[in-house]
């Protein structure tokens, strides 16, 4: 398999495989999104020891390509649901950067006025559904949102779709299987995306799965599945594009499993390769095909620099916004317990 | 007295009518749950809805209470108004994660960016062998969590008004029904109306003791009031109607008047609605002497055989006896000589 060759050969690992879009604007857009997420999270990791961010952060560094490849084919009106490791998906879907940073700082300018923090990011203006820290809980909620949207279209009519991200651990929860069945039964317009990074906190798949045939399990519900054994952003994008088109026209749910790798520790800003559960050597093949470097290398140097500069400006602005934003008023504690 | 715009309906008919009228009024309302569309129609409470509104709005489900609750939450966030039906309250335990971790918290955690207007209907069973897992009154578990409303109407009028209000409410509402209330009748207006949550109802006035009856225990409290009247004790009976929000003012005012408060729950007493009501009233009555007591399920699992089940529940006689002891502590203990089973309960036959 190509993936085996790539994993075993640093030389081949630096080559981007097929599916590269002909339109250079797409390459630039994908690069911009990947780079924005990476640099934002690197800044979060830099600030974190200062204790200005009083919220556990589960960084997506290394996993950006799944969120970016899928979200790039979603329209503004489409909906996205993600997990507590949600910075990448939030930004890839167009969530507001300033509000995200202020939310991490616990400030009134945050998207949820500091009540959410990193684990419950939300931006309904960008159709980013709220994230959850209880693994698997958002899966049926995304399907329910899709259920409501599905009523907008009939037959071949185009409808808005919901992309639902979750990790490998979530597929072990009963609610995952329950939701797949319901979504297939009612042909809900939802694209399920499993970001399989191989670990539930520190527990490897070998401790948790009787077989690794996740796509086979899902396929028994009558759901078309796509198994991607590496996180090549343009392969993800093309897979998502085709799936989304079919879902949009009434084809019912589809499922993508994409292998990926979490470069940092489960929670917190650092690395953990000196801990007992994994080795730095495991990281190296993934780093060798870092999607940010590979997509960036496809751009003209001047264009790339302009994008990089724009990103640095946006992140600095967001951090300043978070710093300047006031704390929420004490009475905010009691707001939103109930809706009016 | 029935007027032209009011007739006698059963609790079942009142629930059915409320849902049908709200579905007519608002296209975003839909009913979902196992067997809501079948010939038995959840004891008749969803009767005819499938014929009127079709399978898009009256949906049978797989036995996936966890996921269906989440699907209701997601649909509610997207602007729909689901009514999720459970034939027994015990099954709400399968929904606990979604109700507690998502439905209750979404509006707050996302600072108002979404709301979750949904109703979870569930029925408490009693008698004819309901046993350990078809009999539980678990409302206090939901009262504990900010963001959930909990209502337990005890008559057909409140059933319709509370259901209409629950469907129109922009929050998740746990709607607590009791199987033995289903056959009870009351005058019910034809037109839609709402019963406000957080307003208790004084179901019978009195001066010597305040009895608060939760869910079906309200019926037993009213029967106890009649028994107490025969020995010259005047009991005031209060139906909280809604448990969250809870109308502490009305209960506290009554308790202040009578000086005695006996709360009878259709549930266990430990960490339950009765504990909450007594504590809330006592806090309000600081400095005023108040005699309080609680009754509820025996602190056991509910047994199936009637030989043991009869000792599991409070009834009119045991409630009257406890009230008598509170009002006349120096008198010998008194237990009224009546059958522990009320006429409509005796008429109940399974299977449900």
Contacts of residue B272, Cβ cutoff 8 Å, sequence gap at least 6:
B140, B265, B296
pLDDT band at A153 (very low <50, low <70, confident <90, very high): low
* pLDDT exceeds 90 at position A274: yes
* pLDDT exceeds 90 at position A155: no
**Interface list for B 143-162 with A (CB within 8 A):** 146-147, 149
Q: How far A146 CA sits from the closest chain B CA (Å)?
A: 8
Residue B331 is assigned to a structural domain of this protein: yes
Nearest to A143 among B71, B97, B149 (CB): B71
The C-alpha atoms of residue A325 and residue A314 are separated, in whole angstroms, by 16
Residue B194 is assigned to a structural domain of this protein: no
| Tokens 């519900």 found at | A221
**Interface list for A 174-193 with B (CB within 8 A):** 174-175, 178-179, 181-182, 185
The C-alpha atoms of residue B116 and residue B69 are separated, in whole angstroms, by 11
pLDDT band at B340 (very low <50, low <70, confident <90, very high): confident
Question: How much is the pLDDT for B350?
Answer: 64
Question: How much is the pLDDT for A188?
Answer: 96
Record: contact A339-B74, CB cut-off 8 A:
no
Task: Give the number of beta-carbon pairs within 8 Å between A and B.
Answer: 141
* pLDDT exceeds 90 at position A313: yes
Mean pLDDT of B273-301: 94
- Do residue B234 and residue B277 come from a single domain? yes
Mark which of B189, B224, B240 sits at the end of a domain.
B189
Which backbone phi and psi does A132 adopt, to 5 degrees?
-135, 150
pLDDT in tens, B227-272: 999 999 999 999 999 999 999 999 999 999 999 999 999 999 999 9
Distinct helix (H) and strand (E) counts, chain B: 13, 14
Active site residues of B: 65, 134
Contacts of residue B153, Cβ cutoff 8 Å, sequence gap at least 6:
B159, B161, B162, B163, B177, B195, B241
Nearest chain B alpha carbon to A133: B101
Record: contact B75-A144, CB cut-off 8 A:
yes
Each as own residue / partner, the long-range contacts of residues A106-111 (CB below 8 Å, 24 or more positions apart, any chain) are A106/A53, A106/A54, A106/A55, A106/A327, A106/A328, A107/A322, A107/A325, A107/A326, A107/A327, A107/A328, A108/A325, A108/A326, A108/A327, A108/A328, A108/A329, A108/A332, A109/A321, A109/A322, A109/A325, A109/A326, A110/A322, A110/A325, A111/B111, A111/B113
Report chain A residues whose CB lies below 8 A from the CB of B93. Answer: none
Report chain A residues whose CB lies below 8 A from the CB of B77. Answer: 129, 141, 144-145
User: What token pair was written down for B68?
Assistant: 């269906």
Contact A105, A52 (CB under 8 A): yes
Record: contact B73-A140, CB cut-off 8 A:
yes
Nearest chain A alpha carbon to B116: A339
Q: Is B97 part of the contact surface with chain A (CB cutoff 8 Å)?
A: yes
Nearest chain B alpha carbon to A117: B109
The domain segmentation of chain A, as residue ranges, is: 19-322
**Interface list for B 214-273 with A (CB within 8 A):** none
Q: How many structural domains compose chain B?
A: 2
pLDDT in tens, B17-26: 999 999 999 9
Nearest to B111 among A112, A142, A340 (CB): A112
Record: contact A142-B79, CB cut-off 8 A:
no
- Do residue B95 and residue B28 come from a single domain? yes
pLDDT in tens, A190-211: 999 999 999 999 999 999 999 9
CATH of the domain at B56: 3.40.50.970
CATH of the domain at B268: 3.40.50.920
From the list B230, B292, B231, the residue with the least C-alpha distance to B259 is B292
Nearest chain B alpha carbon to A115: B109
Question: How much is the pLDDT for B11?
Answer: 97
Report chain B residues whose CB lies below 8 A from the CB of A178. Answer: 62, 64, 66-68
Record: contact B78-A148, CB cut-off 8 A:
yes
Judged by phi (left if over 0) then psi (alpha if -120 to 50, else beta), residue A143 lies in: alpha
Record: contact A145-B117, CB cut-off 8 A:
no
- The tally of CA atoms less than 13 A away on the side-chain side of residue A30 is 33
- Do residue B162 and residue B263 come from a single domain? no
**Interface list for B 61-90 with A (CB within 8 A):** 61-62, 64, 66-80
Residue B1 is assigned to a structural domain of this protein: no
- Do residue B121 and residue B209 come from a single domain? no
Q: How far A320 CA sits from the closest chain B CA (Å)?
A: 22
Q: What is the largest CA-CA distance in chain A?
A: 60
* pLDDT exceeds 80 at position A10: no
Is it true that domain A19-322 has CATH number 3.40.50.720?
no
Mean pLDDT of A316-322: 98
Range of the domain at B63: 6-189
Q: Count of CB atoms within 10 A of residue B173's CB?
A: 29
Intra-chain end-to-end CA distance of chain A, in Å = 57
- Do residue B182 and residue B250 come from a single domain? no
- Do residue B208 and residue B73 come from a single domain? no
Question: How much is the pLDDT for B351?
Answer: 61
Question: How much is the pLDDT for A13?
Answer: 43
**Which whole-number Å values give the CA distances from A213 to A183, A210, A229, B137, in the listed order?**
20, 9, 12, 42
pTM for the whole thing?
Answer: 0.95
Q: How far A117 CA sits from the closest chain B CA (Å)?
A: 9
Record: contact A129-B77, CB cut-off 8 A:
yes
- Do residue B162 and residue B258 come from a single domain? no
Report chain B residues whose CB lies below 8 A from the CB of A179. Answer: 64, 67, 70-71
* pLDDT exceeds 70 at position B352: no
Residue B228 is assigned to a structural domain of this protein: yes
Q: Is A333 part of the contact surface with chain B (CB cutoff 8 Å)?
A: no
Which backbone phi and psi does A6 adopt, to 5 degrees?
-65, -45
Report chain B residues whose CB lies below 8 A from the CB of A144. Answer: 70-78
The C-alpha atoms of residue A98 and residue A315 are separated, in whole angstroms, by 8
pLDDT band at B342 (very low <50, low <70, confident <90, very high): confident
* pLDDT exceeds 50 at position A5: no
- State percent of chain A over pLDDT 90: 90
The C-alpha atoms of residue B73 and residue A130 are separated, in whole angstroms, by 12
- Do residue B18 and residue B158 come from a single domain? yes
Helical pair A24-47 and A233-248, crossing angle rounded to 10 deg:
110
Residue B351 is assigned to a structural domain of this protein: no
Nearest chain A alpha carbon to B149: A338
* pLDDT exceeds 90 at position B61: yes
Nearest chain B alpha carbon to A121: B110
């Amino acid at each position: 398999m190509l993936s085996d060759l790539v994993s075993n050969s640093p030389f081949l690992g630096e080559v981007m495989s097929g599916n590269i879009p002909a339109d250079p604007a797409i390459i630039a857009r994908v690069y911009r999104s990947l780079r924005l997420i990476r640099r934002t999270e690197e800044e979060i990791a830099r600030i974190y020891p200062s204790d200005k961010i009083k919220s556990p952060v589960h960084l997506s560094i290394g996993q950006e390509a799944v969120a970016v490849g899928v979200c790039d084919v979603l329209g503004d009106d489409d909906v996205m649901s993600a997990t507590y490791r949600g910075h990448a998906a939030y930004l890839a879907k167009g969530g507001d950067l300033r509000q995200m940073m202020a939310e991490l700082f616990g400030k009134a300018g945050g998207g949820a006025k500091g009540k959410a923090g990193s684990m419950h990011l939300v931006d309904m203006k960008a159709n980013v559904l709220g994230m959850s820290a209880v693994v698997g809980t958002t899966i049926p909620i995304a399907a329910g949102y899709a259920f409501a949207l599905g009523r907008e279209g009939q037959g071949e009519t185009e409808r808005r779709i919901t992309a639902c991200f979750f990790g490998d651990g979530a597929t072990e929860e009963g609610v995952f299987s329950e939701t797949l069945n319901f979504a297939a039964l009612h042909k809900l317009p939802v694209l399920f995306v499993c970001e399989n990074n191989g670990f539930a906190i520190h527990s490897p798949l070998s401790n948790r799965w009787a077989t690794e045939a996740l796509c086979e399990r899902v396929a028994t519900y009558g759901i078309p599945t796509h198994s991607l054994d590496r996180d090549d952003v343009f392969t993800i994008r093309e897979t998502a594009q085709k799936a989304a088109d079919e879902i949009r026209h009434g084809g019912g749910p589809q499922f993508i499993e994409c292998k990926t790798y979490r470069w940092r520790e489960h929670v917190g800003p650092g690395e953990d390769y000196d801990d007992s559960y994994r080795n730095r050597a495991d990281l190296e093949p993934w780093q060798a095909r870092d999607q940010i470097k590979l997509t960036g290398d496809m751009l003209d140097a001047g264009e790339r620099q302009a994008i990089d500069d724009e990103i640095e400006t946006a992140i600095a602005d967001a951090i300043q916004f978070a710093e300047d934003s006031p704390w929420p008023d004490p009475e905010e504690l009691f707001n939103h317990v109930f809706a009016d | 007295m029935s007027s032209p715009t009011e007739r006698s309906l059963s609790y079942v008919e009142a629930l059915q009518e409320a849902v049908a009228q709200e579905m007519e009024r608002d296209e975003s309302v839909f009913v979902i749950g196992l067997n809501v569309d079948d010939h038995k129609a959840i004891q008749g409470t969803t009767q005819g809805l499938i014929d009127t509104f079709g399978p898009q709005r009256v949906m049978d489900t797989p036995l996936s209470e966890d996921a269906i609750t989440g699907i209701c939450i997601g649909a509610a966030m997207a602007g729909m108004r689901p009514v999720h039906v459970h034939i027994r309250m015990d099954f709400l335990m399968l929904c606990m994660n979604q109700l507690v971790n998502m439905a209750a918290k979404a509006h707050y955690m996302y600072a108002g960016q979404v709301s979750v207007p949904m109703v979870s209907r569930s029925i408490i069973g009693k008698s004819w062998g309901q046993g350990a897992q078809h009999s539980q009154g678990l409302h206090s578990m939901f009262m504990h969590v900010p963001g959930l409303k909990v209502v337990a109407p005890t008559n057909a009028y409140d059933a319709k008004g509370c259901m209409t209000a629950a469907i129109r409410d922009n929050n998740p509402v746990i709607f607590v029904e009791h199987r033995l209330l289903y056959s009870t009748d009351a005058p019910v207006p034809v037109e839609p109306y709402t019963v406000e949550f957080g307003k208790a109802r004084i179901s019978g006035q009195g001066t010597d003791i305040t009895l608060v009856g939760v869910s079906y225990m309200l019926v037993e409290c009213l029967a106890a009031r009649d028994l107490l009247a025969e020995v010259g004790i005047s009991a005031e009976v209060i139906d909280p109607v809604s448990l969250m929000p809870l109308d502490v003012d009305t209960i506290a005012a009554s308790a202040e008047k009578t000086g005695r408060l006996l709360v009878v729950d259709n549930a266990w007493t430990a960490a339950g609605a009765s504990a909450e009501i007594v504590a809330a009233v006592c806090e309000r009555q600081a400095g005023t002497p108040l005699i309080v007591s609680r009754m509820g399920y025996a602190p056991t699992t509910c047994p199936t055989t009637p030989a043991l089940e009869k000792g599991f529940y409070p009834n009119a006689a045991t409630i009257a006896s406890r009230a008598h002891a509170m009002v006349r502590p120096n008198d010998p203990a008194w237990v009224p000589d009546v059958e522990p089973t009320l006429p409509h309960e005796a008429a109940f036959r399974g299977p449900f």
